[in-house]
C-alpha cells in the first residue's frame, strides 16, 4: 500500500499502510519518524486486541485527503482509525463497532509502544504532565535538544508512559459498552511538534518548556466546541446576592429582584443566574437534594419538572411570567440553575416505573465502606445514553419557552461503580456522558436562538481542560464554593473584594498554568459572594418558610446581607477579573437588593464598570493572548503578580495588568524581550520601534479616570515601575511615532492640557500627582514647534526644567524634577513603632493630613448612604468593608512561636509574609477533588484580644473576618474605627496592647486612597 502525505501550516504528515509514519516540522525540516503506530483494545477485562497483529487494514480518504483505516478484528468487531492533520497536530480517533454482541471496552491504548525518532535519534528525556486535581495524566512531552513532541488525548484519565529508545504508550480505561446499535468512539489523540524555547515555567508550575505548555494549550484551544464569541461573557450570579432569600411569588420580592435586573442592565451585564424562591410552585418540603435548594432550580419549576407535573411548553405561573417579561424589557437574559443528577421523572412511567437513567446512588460512606453499592438515594446516571438525549433536549425546550440564556450546573457528582456490580458506570463513563450533555448545549442557537452560557460549578475545576473546552463556557470560577467560608486567602486584607480577587487570580493561574486552559475558558470572578450564614446580630430574625435552615439560625434570614457592596475593594476585583479572566466575567454582589445601595451607587462607578466591561469586548484579541508575566509566579502573599495581553505579532503592543496584594509597594521589572513575545525591529529597518507605556486603569479611586502616559520604551528595554499597596494597575503598550506629535506629551503624571507657544512657552495645566511624592516629569515636544523651550509653567506656576536632546529616534523633550507639595499619606500608610518593641504594649505616633479627612467627607457625599455604626445593633459597624467613609487602623502580625510556646505551626504553602497560625496539626496534602478546602489555615487565633487608645482615649478593637458571621477559620486580625479621634495635621499617639509574644508586622491606616497633589515644587 503506497504512502500518502498531507500538508499542514506548521508540519507535514505521511501515512503508511497501518497509520502515521512521520511528521516534518516545516520550520527546521526535522523529521519525526513514528515507528509502529498501533493501538490496543481490552474487552470485558480479559481479551486484548493489538492492531499490529491484525491483518493489514483497508484505507480510504475523505475529500480533504485525510485517511481512515478499517480493521477487522476477531469475532464481530470492526475498528475504524481516522486521522486528520491540522495546522500543528495530527489527530487520531478510534471507533469500535460490533455486529452481534455487546462488549465492555475496559482499556483503550491509543499509542501502543510507538517509537519516536527525530532525525534518527530517540528523545533525550520525556516528561509527563499530570492533573493537579488528583486525576491522571494530561500529556507526555518528548524532548530533543531544540525540538519537542506532544502526545495527548482528550480526557484527564490518561496513563502516559515513556519507554526506552523513544517508545510511548498512551491509554485510558473507559469501562464503556459497545453494542450492535451503539458504537464506541474513543477520545481523540493528538501528536505534534514544536521548537523548544529553553525557558522553563516558573515554580510551582511543572518544569515544562514554555513551548511545551503553549503547544498543549493550543491543542486544547482547537477543541473548543462553541463558536468563538464576538464579546466577553458578562453574567451576574444572583446566588452571590443571596437571591434565594427573595420570594418572587410576592410583589415585594419581584420588585426587589427587578432592582438586580436594573442594576445589571445599567452596568452592561447581559445575563443573570436567576434562582429566587417562588412559593407559587415550589417548596423546600418537596426537595430531594441533600443541600436543600431544589426549590430554586429551573426558575423554580425544577421540583415539578422532576416529578413529571410540569414540562417545558406547559403554562408558567404569572409571577414567573412577569419576571421573564421584565428580563426581556431590560435586555438581560436569565440563566437557570440546574442539578443534573436528580432523579428526573422517577416513578412517573406506567406502573410506577422510571426512565432508564434513574439509579440508586453509590456515594454514601457506608455504601463505599461495605461495597454494597447502589443503595443510596435515587439519582440520574450521567453515563446513560437516554439521559444524554433527554436532558439537553429538555433544556433547549425550556430555553425556547422562557428565554433562558443558559444554564448553571451544580450538584454534579461522579460515582465509581463496583467491578462486580455496574462496571459500565465508571467515573470516566459519567465524565464522558456529562461532557456529551454539555456539548449538546454548544450549538450556535441552543438557547432561545442564541449561544448558551454554560456555567459549571461543584468539582468542575478537577475535570480538566477538555471538559472546559468541549463542554462549557468557562471553568468553575473559584475552584470551590464561592461562599467566603469555603475558601481561604493567602494575604490578609480588610476589603472582602480584594481577598476574593486574590483568590480569583490564584484560580486563574492554576487553570492557565497547571491545567493548560486557554484564555477562552478561564473565568474572571469579580466582587464577592455575600456570606450566607447568619451572624449573632441576626439570630433573632425570623426566617422565611422557604429557607433550608429556618428559624433565623440558618442561611435564609430574610434580612441577611442585602447591603454588602464593597465600594473600596470592587475596582481591584474588577480589574483582576478583566485582566486574568476577561473572556468570562462572572460578576457577583452588586449594589441592588438594598434600596439605599441601589440609589447611592455613584455615576462614576457605573462608568468604571461599563468602561472595563466594554474594554474586554473591544480587546478580544488581547484577552485571547493572556499569559502570566514571565517575571512572576503563582499569586502569593507579599508578591507582585500579573499578566500580559500582547498581540502575537511580536510588536510588543497590547496590555499588561499588575497586582500588589499586600500592604507594601511592590516593584515590577519586566524585560520587553522574547520571553514576553517581543521582537525588536531589525536595525537595518530604520524603524525606531518606540513604545508608549500608558496607565489606562487603576483600582485607586483617586487616579484620573482617563489614565496617563508613563514612559517611552522600545523592545529590548526593561519596563520598571512600582505598584502601590493593595492596588491593581492596567497598562497599555502602543506604538509611538514622535513625528506625529501635534502637542506636547507629558510622561510621569496625568495632564489635562499641554501647549507650546511660538515663542517657546510651555504650559502644562491640570497636572495631578500623588501629594507629597517626588516626581520627575518628561515632556515630549512636537517636531514642528519652536527650536527650544524658553520657559515652562505647571498648573500656573513657573518651574525649572532641563532640555533633553533627541536620541535613538526619540523626540526632543524637557525634564522637570521636583515633588508634589503636601505631606505624603498614601494607601496603607504605616504607623511606625516608637523605639523597639518586644511584645505587649506597642506605641507609635502619626499625623493625618487634612486632605485625608476631606477625602473621606467627599466619599460620604458621593456615596450618600447611612450606616448603623452601633456595634451592638447589627453587622454594618462590624464589617470593615462597609461604611467606606470611616478611617480605620489595623495591625498585621508576624510569628512569635517560641514566646508563645507553640509546638508546631501551619503555613500557607507559598507564603512569603508569614503570620501566626492556630496550632493545628498539619494535615497531609490530599489529592482528592476537595483538597483546596483544607490547603490553607487561619492567619491568627481569633481567641486573642487586643486593646488600644489614641491620645489616651480608648478604642473599640474589633475582630475582622472574611465572613459576616464570625468564623474562626476565616479570621483576619484586629481593627478599629478611629475617624472621630483624628485631629488633622496634629501629631497623635496610638497605643496598642497586643497578645503576649505577637509582634506587629505593620500597623496601618485603611480606607485611604492616595490624596492627589496639584501644587508642584520644581528643583534643578
3-state DSSP assignment of residue 547: coil
**Residue 1019 banded pLDDT, cuts 50, 70, 90:** low
User: What separation in angstroms does the CA of 78 have from each of 62, 94, 109, 133, 377?
Assistant: 19, 10, 16, 36, 39
Cell 406502573 sits on residue: 351
Please give the helix or strand (H or E) that residue 596 lies within, else none: helix 595-600
Q: What angle do CA 58, 83, 154 make, to 5 degrees?
A: 135
Q: Starting at the edge strand that comes first in sequence, how are the strands of the sheet with 999-1006 ordered?
A: 830-831, 999-1006, 888-894, 971-977, 958-961
* pLDDT of 934: 32
Torsion of CA 211, 212, 217, 220, to 10 degrees: 140
Which stretches does DSSP call E strand in 392-473? Answer: 406-409, 453-456
Nearest to 750 by CA among 716, 708, 710: 708
d(CA 255, CA 518): 40
* pLDDT of 1013: 81
Contact 487, 480 (CB under 8 A): yes
869 Cβ contact partners less than 8 Å away, ≥ 6 residues apart? 876, 877, 883, 886, 977
Torsion of CA 223, 229, 234, 238, to 10 degrees: -60
* pLDDT of 786: 82
Q: Tell me what the pLDDT averaged over the chain comes to.
A: 88
**Residue 749 banded pLDDT, cuts 50, 70, 90:** very high
| C-alpha grid cell, residue 929 | 477533588
pLDDT at 900 over 50: no
pLDDT at 132 over 70: yes
Over residues 28-38, the mean pLDDT reads 97
d(CA 16, CA 36): 10
User: What separation in angstroms does the CA of 815 have from each of 171, 523, 763, 776?
Assistant: 65, 43, 14, 7
Q: What is the set of domains in the chain, with CATH numbers?
A: 4-221 (2.70.98.40), 234-312+322-338+402-412+427-476+583-618 (no CATH), 739-824 (2.60.390.10), 830-1011 (no CATH)
Over residues 643-648, the mean pLDDT reads 96
Cell 504607623 sits on residue: 831
* pLDDT of 561: 79
pLDDT at 304 over 50: yes
> How many CB atoms within 10 Å of residue 904?
10
* pLDDT of 919: 25
* pLDDT of 548: 53
| C-alpha grid cell, residue 248 | 418572587
**Residue 181 banded pLDDT, cuts 50, 70, 90:** confident
| C-alpha grid cell, residue 696 | 489606562
* pLDDT of 920: 26
| C-alpha grid cell, residue 778 | 518628561
Over residues 914-930, the mean pLDDT reads 27
Express as a percent the part of the chain with pLDDT over 90: 71
> How many CB atoms within 10 Å of residue 448?
17
* pLDDT of 15: 96
456 Cβ contact partners less than 8 Å away, ≥ 6 residues apart? 408, 409, 412, 438, 467, 468, 471, 472, 474, 475, 476
* pLDDT of 422: 44
**What angle, 0 to 180 degrees and rounded to 10, lies between the N-to-C axes of helices 385-402 and 427-439?**
30
258 vs 363, higher pLDDT? 258
In this prediction the pTM is 0.92
**Residue 78 banded pLDDT, cuts 50, 70, 90:** very high
Cis peptide before 204 (omega within 30 of 0): yes
| C-alpha grid cell, residue 51 | 492492531
Nearest to 441 by CA among 225, 230, 586, 269: 225
d(CA 815, CA 801): 5
pLDDT at 776 over 70: yes
d(CA 114, CA 440): 34
* pLDDT of 652: 95
Over residues 489-502, the mean pLDDT reads 94
Phi, psi (rounded to 5 degrees) for 733: -105, 125
Q: What angle do CA 868, 872, 874 make, to 5 degrees?
A: 50
964 vs 952, higher pLDDT? 952
d(CA 909, CA 815): 46
Parallel, antiparallel or unpaired: strands 271-273 and 137-143: unpaired
pLDDT at 559 over 90: no
d(CA 963, CA 967): 7
Contact 354, 344 (CB under 8 A): no
**Residue 2 banded pLDDT, cuts 50, 70, 90:** low
Over residues 457-466, the mean pLDDT reads 92
* pLDDT of 1011: 86
Q: How many Cα neighbours within 13 Å face the side chain of 575?
A: 29
* pLDDT of 72: 93
Cell 478546602 sits on residue: 933
pLDDT tens digits, one per residue of 670-706:
999 999 999 877 655 555 589 999 999 999 999 998 8
Instruction: For 74-114, give the secondary structure using H, E and C.
Output: CCCEEEEEEEEECCCEEEEEEEEEECCCCEEEEEEEEEEEE
* pLDDT of 288: 92
Nearest to 475 by CA among 520, 505, 429: 520
Query: Dihedral sign, CA of 715, 720, 726, 727?
Result: negative
451 Cβ contact partners less than 8 Å away, ≥ 6 residues apart? 226, 227, 229, 442, 444, 445
* pLDDT of 632: 86
For the chain, give percent helix, strand, coil, nearest 5.
20, 30, 45
349 Cβ contact partners less than 8 Å away, ≥ 6 residues apart? 355
Please give the helix or strand (H or E) that residue 570 lies within, else none: helix 570-581
d(CA 320, CA 280): 9
User: What separation in angstroms does the CA of 378 have from each of 354, 374, 395, 745?
Assistant: 10, 9, 21, 70
Please give the helix or strand (H or E) that residue 392 lies within, else none: helix 385-402
In sequence order, what are the beta bridge partners of 828? none
* pLDDT of 37: 97
* pLDDT of 897: 25
pLDDT tens digits, one per residue of 321-361:
999 999 999 999 999 999 999 999 999 999 999 999 998 77
* pLDDT of 894: 46
| C-alpha grid cell, residue 87 | 495546522
pLDDT tens digits, one per residue of 966-983:
887 788 888 999 999 999
pLDDT tens digits, one per residue of 281-296:
999 999 999 888 999 9
pLDDT at 858 over 60: yes
347 Cβ contact partners less than 8 Å away, ≥ 6 residues apart? 353, 354
Residue by residue, DSSP assigns 775-826 as: EEEEEE--TTS-SS--EEEETTEEE--EEE---TTPPPEEEEEEEESS----
Residue by residue, DSSP assigns 105-145 as: EEEEEEEEEEEEEETTB--SEEEEEE-TTSS-EEEEEEE-S
3-state DSSP assignment of residue 329: helix
Please give the helix or strand (H or E) that residue 499 lies within, else none: helix 496-509
* pLDDT of 362: 62
pLDDT tens digits, one per residue of 571-607:
999 999 999 999 999 999 999 999 999 999 999 999 9
3-state DSSP assignment of residue 537: helix
d(CA 139, CA 380): 32
Core vs surface per residue 978-999: b (16+ CB within 10 A) or e: beebbeeeeebebbbebbebbb
Which stretches does DSSP call E strand in 18-76? Answer: 19-25, 30-35, 40-43, 47-50, 58-61, 67-72
pLDDT at 238 over 50: yes
Amino acid at each position: 500500500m503506497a504512502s500518502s502525505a498531507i500538508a499542514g501550516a506548521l508540519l507535514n504528515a505521511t501515512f503508511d499502510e497501518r497509520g502515521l509514519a512521520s511528521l516534518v516540522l516545516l520550520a527546521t525540516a526535522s523529521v519525526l519518524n513514528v515507528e509502529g503506530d498501533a493501538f490496543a483494545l481490552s474487552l470485558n477485562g480479559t481479551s486484548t486486541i493489538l492492531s499490529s497483529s491484525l491483518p493489514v487494514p483497508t484505507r480510504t480518504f475523505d475529500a480533504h485527503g485525510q485517511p481512515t483505516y478499517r480493521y477487522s478484528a476477531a469475532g464481530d468487531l470492526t475498528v475504524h482509525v481516522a486521522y486528520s492533520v491540522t495546522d500543528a497536530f495530527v489527530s487520531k480517533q478510534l471507533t469500535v463497532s460490533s455486529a452481534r454482541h455487546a462488549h465492555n471496552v475496559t482499556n483503550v491504548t491509543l499509542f501502543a509502544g510507538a517509537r519516536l525518532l527525530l532525525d534518527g535519534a530517540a528523545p533525550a528525556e520525556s516528561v509527563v504532565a499530570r492533573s493537579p486535581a488528583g486525576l491522571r495524566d494530561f500529556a507526555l512531552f518528548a524532548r530533543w535538544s531544540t525540538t519537542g513532541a506532544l502526545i495527548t488525548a482528550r480526557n484527564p484519565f490518561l496513563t502516559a508512559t515513556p519507554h526506552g529508545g523513544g517508545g510511548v504508550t498512551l491509554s485510558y480505561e473507559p469501562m464503556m459498552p459497545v453494542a450492535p446499535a451503539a458504537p464506541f468512539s474513543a477520545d481523540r489523540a493528538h501528536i505534534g511538534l514544536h521548537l523548544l524555547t529553553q525557558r522553563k515555567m516558573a515554580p510551582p508550575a511543572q518544569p515544562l518548556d514554555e513551548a511545551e505548555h503553549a503547544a498543549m494549550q493550543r491543542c486544547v484551544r482547537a477543541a473548543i466546541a462553541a463558536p468563538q464569541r464576538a464579546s466577553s461573557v458578562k453574567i451576574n450570579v444572583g446566588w452571590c446576592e443571596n437571591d434565594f432569600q427573595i420570594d418572587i411569588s410576592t410583589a415585594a420580592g419581584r420588585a426587589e429582584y427587578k432592582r438586580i435586573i436594573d442594576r445589571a442592565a445599567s452596568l452592561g451585564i447581559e445575563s443573570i443566574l436567576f434562582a429566587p424562591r417562588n412559593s407559587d410552585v415550589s417548596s423546600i418540603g418537596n426537595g430531594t437534594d441533600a443541600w436543600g435548594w431544589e426549590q430554586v432550580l429551573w426558575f423554580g419549576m425544577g421540583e415539578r419538572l422532576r416529578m413529571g407535573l410540569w414540562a417545558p411548553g406547559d403554562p408558567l405561573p404569572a409571577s414567573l411570567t412577569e419576571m421573564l417579561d421584565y428580563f426581556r424589557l431590560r435586555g438581560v437574559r436569565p440563566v437557570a440553575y440546574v442539578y443534573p443528577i436528580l432523579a428526573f421523572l422517577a416513578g412517573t412511567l406506567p406502573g410506577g416505573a422510571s426512565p432508564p437513567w434513574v439509579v440508586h446512588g453509590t456515594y454514601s460512606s457506608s455504601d463505599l465502606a461495605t461495597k454494597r453499592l447502589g443503595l443510596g438515594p435515587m439519582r440520574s446516571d450521567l453515563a446513560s445514553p437516554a439521559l444524554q438525549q433527554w436532558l439537553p433536549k429538555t433544556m433547549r425546550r425550556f430555553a425556547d419557552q422562557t428565554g433562558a440564556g443558559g444554564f448553571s450546573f451544580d450538584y454534579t457528582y461522579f460515582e465509581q461503580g463496583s467491578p462486580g456490580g455496574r462496571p459500565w458506570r465508571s467515573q470516566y463513563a459519567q465524565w464522558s456522558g456529562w461532557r456529551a450533555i454539555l456539548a449538546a448545549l454548544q450549538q450556535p442557537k441552543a438557547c432561545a436562538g442564541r449561544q448558551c452560557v454554560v456555567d459549571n460549578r461543584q468539582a468542575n475545576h478537577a475535570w480538566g481542560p477538555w471538559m472546559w473546552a468541549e463542554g462549557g463556557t468557562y471553568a468553575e470560577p473559584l475552584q470551590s464554593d464561592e461562599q467566603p467560608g469555603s475558601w481561604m486567602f493567602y494575604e490578609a486584607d480588610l476589603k472582602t473584594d480584594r481577598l476574593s480577587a486574590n483568590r480569583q487570580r490564584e484560580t486563574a493561574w492554576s487553570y492557565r498554568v497547571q491545567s493548560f486552559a486557554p484564555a477562552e475558558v478561564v473565568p474572571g470572578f469579580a466582587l464577592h459572594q455575600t456570606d450566607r450564614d447568619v451572624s449573632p446580630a441576626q439570630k433573632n430574625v425570623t426566617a422565611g418558610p422557604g429557607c433550608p435552615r429556618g428559624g433565623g439560625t440558618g442561611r435564609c434570614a430574610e434580612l441577611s446581607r442585602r447591603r454588602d457592596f464593597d465600594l473600596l475593594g470592587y475596582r481591584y476585583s474588577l480589574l483582576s477579573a478583566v485582566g486574568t479572566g476577561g473572556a468570562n466575567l462572572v460578576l457577583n454582589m452588586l449594589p441592588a437588593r438594598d434600596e439605599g445601595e441601589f440609589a447611592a451607587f455613584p455615576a462614576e462607578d457605573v462608568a468604571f464598570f461599563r468602561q472595563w466591561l466594554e474594554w474586554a469586548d473591544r480587546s478580544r484579541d488581547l484577552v485571547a493572548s493572556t499569559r502570566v508575566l514571565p517575571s512572576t509566579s503563582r499569586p502569593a502573599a507579599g508578591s507582585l503578580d500579573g499578566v500580559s495581553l500582547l498581540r502575537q505579532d511580536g510588536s510588543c503592543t497590547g496590555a499588561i495588568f499588575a497586582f500588589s496584594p499586600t500592604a507594601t509597594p511592590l516593584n515590577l521589572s519586566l524585560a520587553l524581550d522574547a520571553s514576553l513575545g517581543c521582537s525588536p525591529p531589525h536595525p537595518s529597518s530604520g524603524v525606531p520601534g518606540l513604545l508608549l507605556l500608558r496607565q489606562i486603569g487603576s483600582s485607586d479611586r483617586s487616579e484620573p479616570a482617563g489614565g496617563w502616559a508613563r514612559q517611552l520604551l522600545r523592545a529590548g528595554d526593561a519596563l520598571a515601575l512600582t505598584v502601590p499597596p493593595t492596588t491593581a494597575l492596567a497598562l497599555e503598550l502602543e506604538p509611538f511615532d514622535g513625528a506625529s506629535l501635534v502637542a506636547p506629551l507629558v510622561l510621569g503624571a496625568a495632564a489635562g492640557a499641554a501647549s507650546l507657544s511660538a515663542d517657546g512657552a510651555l504650559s502644562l495645566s491640570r497636572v495631578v500627582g500623588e501629594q507629597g511624592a517626588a516626581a520627575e516629569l518628561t515632556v515630549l515636544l512636537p517636531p514642528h514647534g519652536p527650536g527650544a523651550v524658553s520657559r515652562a509653567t505647571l498648573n500656573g506656576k513657573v518651574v525649572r526644567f532641563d532640555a533633553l536632546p533627541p536620541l535613538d529616534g526619540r523626540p526632543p523633550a524637557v525634564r522637570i524634577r521636583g515633588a508634589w507639595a503636601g505631606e505624603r499619606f498614601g494607601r496603607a500608610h504605616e504607623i511606625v513603632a516608637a523605639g523597639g518593641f518586644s511584645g505587649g504594649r506597642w506605641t507609635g505616633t502619626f499625623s493625618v493630613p487634612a486632605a485625608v479627612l476631606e477625602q473621606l467627607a467627599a466619599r460620604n457625599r458621593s456615596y450618600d448612604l447611612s450606616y448603623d455604626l452601633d456595634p451592638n445593633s447589627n453587622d454594618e459597624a462590624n464589617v470593615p468593608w462597609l461604611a467606606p467613609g470611616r478611617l480605620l487602623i489595623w495591625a498585621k502580625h508576624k510569628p512569635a512561636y517560641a514566646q508563645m510556646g507553640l509546638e508546631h505551626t501551619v503555613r500557607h504553602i507559598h507564603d512569603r509574609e508569614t503570620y501566626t497560625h492556630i496550632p493545628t496539626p498539619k494535615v497531609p496534602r490530599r489529592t482528592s477533588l476537595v483538597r483546596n478546602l483544607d490547603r490553607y489555615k487561619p492567619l491568627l487565633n481569633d481567641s486573642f484580644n487586643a486593646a488600644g487608645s489614641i491620645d489616651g482615649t480608648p478604642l473599640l478593637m474589633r475582630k475582622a473576618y472574611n465572613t459576616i458571621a464570625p468564623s474562626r477559620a476565616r479570621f483576619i486580625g484586629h481593627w478599629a474605627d478611629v475617624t472621630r479621634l483624628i485631629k488633622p495635621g496634629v501629631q497623635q499617639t496610638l497605643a496598642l496592647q497586643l497578645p503576649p509574644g505577637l509582634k506587629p508586622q505593620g500597623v496601618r491606616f485603611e480606607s485611604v486612597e492616595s490624596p492627589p497633589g496639584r501644587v508642584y515644587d520644581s528643583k534643578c
